[in-house]
Structure 1
Amino acid sequence: MAKESLPKWLVRHGGRIHYVRRVPSRYTQVDPRTFVTHSCNTDDVGQAVIARDRINAKVEAYWLSLVRGDGDDARARYQAVIEYARNAGFAYRDVGDITKGSVEDLFKRLATLEQPLAETQGRRTAPAEKAIPTQAHQRLGGF
């Protein structure tokens, strides 16, 4: 049987497709791993390519945060952002991905961020569902 040819950074392990990428030399000072591996959670090549692009964006954002930050502190901040998004009921997504998504998702995310900010300033905000057409919408120029 001929070896399957998969798109860049994708390999098949036991029927499932995984993202596998060598850490570029410019990041070896901040990331001690030789390879980054992550399951795409699929055996379909098309779905794996979509997952690969999402995973790769996160990995590259992580590397940039390490380079711009100060080592372990940058790593901790990156993990904290992912955890904050998860606790707020959202999957962590790169800003570029968020802006390509629905306006409703963007407004929900903005409204979720407004609530703790308002609380620290002693204001009250409407729940995220009601804040979409009002506060967040007005802040973005009402488009």
Structure 2
Amino acid sequence: MTRLFSLARASRLHGSHFRRYFSFVDERRLKLAEQRPSVRELDVDKEILTGERRREIRRADFLKFTGGKRPLISSHLKGNIIAIFLGSWCIVAGILCLKMFKPESYEWLENERKRIEAAKEKLELIKQLESNAKNAPVGPV
């Protein structure tokens, strides 16, 4: 730390330089704060639709609030309809998958079992022939 202070003294950086910069930043922040609306000013816009005044809202104000268009279906109803549609679509897709992949008969299973048994018998026959070939004497008898 002492070395840092000695470098600051050597380059003649005084605290006044920093104070000038920070005072400029502070002035700029104060100017922006004056131009920025306060929370109370923003709350006035929300008071239009709260409390007793909610019943007294005029059609012009309502259309201004909704952007000039009345929605045909409320957002809650729209969300519920979409959820019901997606849920029913998933259920129907699952039922169709189960129906499509359900085998009509199990003949193919019996055929596969027969094929596997035939392959096992063939392997046993090959092993017996190899063991007989090893045990057989080599050369003329």
**Which interval holds the TM-score relative to the shorter structure?**
under 0.3
Structure number having the greater helix percentage: 2
Structure number having the greater strand percentage: 1
The structure having more radius of gyration, on CA atoms, is 2
Structure with the bigger RCO (C-alpha within 8 Å, sep 6+) is: 1
- Normalised by the length of structure 1, the TM-score is 0.20
- Normalised by the length of structure 2, the TM-score is 0.20
